Amino acid sequence: MTRVWACVFIITLGMGSSAVIAQTYPAKSVRIVVGFPPGGTNDILARLIAARLGDQMGQMFIVENRAGANGIIGTEVVAKAPPDGYSLLLQSVAHAINASLYKKLPYDSIVDFAPVALLASGQLVLVVHPSLPVATAKELIALARTRPRALNYASTGSGGSPHLAMELFKAMARVDIVHIPYKGTGPAITDVLSGQITVMFPPLLPALPHITAGKLRPLAVAGRERSAAASNIPTMGESALAGFEASAWFGVFVPAKTPRDIVARLNTELNKALQGRELRERLVSQGVEPQGGTPEQFENYVKSEIMKWRKVVESSGARVE
């Protein structure tokens, strides 16, 4: 009996210790690692979140850019960091895409991380050059079926969201449109504006001024719901392909084995930050829409995204060594 009570005491003490750590957390500054350069959506979102968490939790949250390899370098930094809540990772849908796009990763995209919260989602929008005789996604599908491999589409590079969103579109619509990869959003949109390329799935934010000016014709957004920034553009699910979704999402992860109480505390604070009017308005102005939710919901979402994009990567043949 003595041994049994000793074991109970040890377990209870451990649980109490975890709760105490969560109550005193954070006791020092926390870093938010971003696997992309300063100035992009990941970086901007991280800095907005860092400011709010700092105000709410009474410690500095410092953004650390570890750019390279489609976010893999920064992701590896957090995967190998101590699981104490002082190294956070702000990653995008690239986390799900990289799981199958690269043959070998220096971490396991599921096992090595504890998802904390889904922060926001950014819309992609299917656009065509005005010279193309289509006004809806259905009309584009019909045209592409009668002219296999006659149409082409631009992307921001192999493996990026605009590339794989179009590959998902091709697979679901059963059409064959030729991929023309570019090095970035700017060069790709430039050639679509000139009519050299006729179709693209760019992020909504850089495309919107050209849509407003009538230089690009929008057919559908790729998200589950319409964008607040362009509510007149239907979703792909509404207009042509039920179940289609290819959002450029963003979320926070911590290393696996981070105490659950700390994960729960971070989730609570992130959801509180996302509910603030000022932050919500700032996010919308950056072309992304606030989300939120529980760690379990985010974990299930990440797993479903990895499965979805694996199918797209395999069918498209996209691969980065």
CATH for 266: 3.40.190.150
Q: Which domain holds residue 206?
A: 125-239
Q: Give the least confident one: 6-20, 21-35, 185-199, 296-310.
A: 6-20
Beta bridge partners of 201: none
Same domain for 131 and 231, yes or no, is yes
pLDDT, residue 20, reads 58
Residue at token pair 């493996």 = 159
pLDDT, residue 317, reads 79
The domain boundary residue, chosen from 239, 256, 285: 239
Same domain for 253 and 293, yes or no, is yes
CATH number at residue 196: 3.40.190.10
pLDDT at residue 143 is higher than 70: yes
* 284 domain-assigned: yes
Same domain for 37 and 137, yes or no, is no
Same domain for 286 and 184, yes or no, is no
pLDDT at residue 183 is higher than 70: yes
pLDDT, residue 151, reads 97
pTM, to two decimals: 0.80
The residue that leads in pLDDT, 190 or 68, is 190
The domain boundary residue, chosen from 239, 259, 274: 239
pLDDT at residue 128 is higher than 80: yes
pLDDT at residue 290 is higher than 80: yes
Same domain for 133 and 102, yes or no, is no
Integer CA distances (angstroms), 55 to 60, 104, 136, in order? 8, 39, 46
What is the arithmetic mean of pLDDT over 55-82? 95
Same domain for 147 and 215, yes or no, is yes
pLDDT, residue 12, reads 54
Write the CB contacts of 108 (distance below 8 Å, at least 6 apart in sequence): none
Alpha carbons 25 and 263: distance in angstroms, whole number: 11
How many domains are contained in the chain?
A: 2
pLDDT, residue 137, reads 98
pLDDT, residue 297, reads 98
